[in-house]
Amino acid sequence: MKKIIEIIGIILIGLSIVIAYVNLQSLPENILTYILIIILVSFPLYLIGHRLRRTLIIFKEKVIIWSFAYAFVALLIPLLFFSYTHYEQLKSETFNEQFILFESTSSVNGGGISLGCMLFLILFVSIRIFSSDIRRKWIPNLLIVITLITYGTSLYVLWEDYRGIHADRGLITNKWDGVEESIPWENVTRIYIDPYVNYARLSDKSDETHISWTMGIESDSNEDVLYRFQNLYKHDLHVGNQIKEIAQDNNIPFIITNMTKDERKWYEFELDLENLPKEPFHEFFQYK
């Protein structure tokens, strides 16, 4: 009987975390609903679960640390990721007007600054909560404060850092310091599409081998501007066709690199795997 009660307690703890994560959907529009569900449903279930799996004496001794653990797992981690994704969405909605293609950072590693700060913050908080034998607790506390300030500062500084392809103005890059660089369509000398196979890394079990492609845009005064597209997606194909139409309207050479035998194999496999319409993709990649 005691074993069954412990299992029920573990189930309630897991259910409380699930409710907290699902409850994120009410943000940011219904913040009151989010708070009420956490206070009245999720957190009480979490405490009841711990009470069922431990004696009253142990529960009283551990309830504070368990509460901090709940705040860390059910609140801090999801709220951090929510803030990051909502920030990216809000940024895209703010600056994405008339952009055919929009990226929220002007450089490949730009978004990694905020994401890295967020991951370090999670690490330092977890050390502070779950390492009870730390002697100098002010060290992780200081690291948490510094990382939190850095994270907030990076979001603020990088707000106007983005790049994209504009239907009328051409290529636009806006740096974090407010300096804008643009390449009008009349300065573009060539656009090329280069398919390639993105081979899975052995060090990353979640990585998979798949067909990808690069759009390179050459100009008469700047280095090539590259945009990379992972896998085969209808949205990316639509973007590619829009750029192709602009190239034709402005008499810009639009060149498709022929696929190798290996690239053709993965290209056909991807189309069949995702059940994609073949003709539009064949036409764009000039596949025969």
**pLDDT tens-digit map of 257-280:** 999 999 999 999 999 989 999 999
Instruction: Tell me, yes or no, whether 59 lies in a domain.
Output: no
Residue 74 and residue 162 share a domain = yes
What is the pLDDT confidence band of residue 86, given thresholds at 50, 70 and 90? Answer: confident
Instruction: Tell me, yes or no, whether 60 lies in a domain.
Output: no
**Residue-range definition of the domain harbouring residue 249:** 185-285
pLDDT in tens, 123-161: 888 888 887 777 777 888 899 899 989 988 888 888 888
For residue 54, give Cα distances in angstroms to 6, 7, 66, 69. Answer: 8, 11, 12, 16
Which among 183, 203, 237 is the end of a domain? Answer: 183
Running DSSP on this structure, what letter comes out for residue 26? Answer: G
Which among 183, 216, 231 is the end of a domain? Answer: 183
Instruction: Tell me, yes or no, whether 58 lies in a domain.
Output: no
Instruction: Tell me, yes or no, whether 230 lies in a domain.
Output: yes
Residue 239 and residue 224 share a domain = yes
Over pLDDT 90: what percentage of the chain?
A: 41
pLDDT for residue 207 is more than 70 = no
Instruction: Tell me, yes or no, whether 269 lies in a domain.
Output: yes
Residue 87 and residue 38 share a domain = no
Instruction: Tell me, yes or no, whether 270 lies in a domain.
Output: yes
Residue 33 and residue 75 share a domain = no
What is the pLDDT confidence band of residue 178, given thresholds at 50, 70 and 90? Answer: confident
Give the pairing of strands 254-256 and 188-198. Answer: parallel
Residue 278 and residue 214 share a domain = yes
Residue 155 and residue 76 share a domain = yes
pTM reported for the whole predicted model:
0.73
Number of domains in the chain: 3
Residue 190 and residue 177 share a domain = no
SS (H, E, C) 147-159: HHHHHHHHHHHHH
Over pLDDT 70: what percentage of the chain?
A: 96
Which among 183, 207, 222 is the end of a domain? Answer: 183
Question: Residue 226 in contact with residue 216, Cβ under 8 Å?
Answer: yes
pLDDT for residue 111 is more than 70 = no
Name residue 38's beta-bridge partners. none
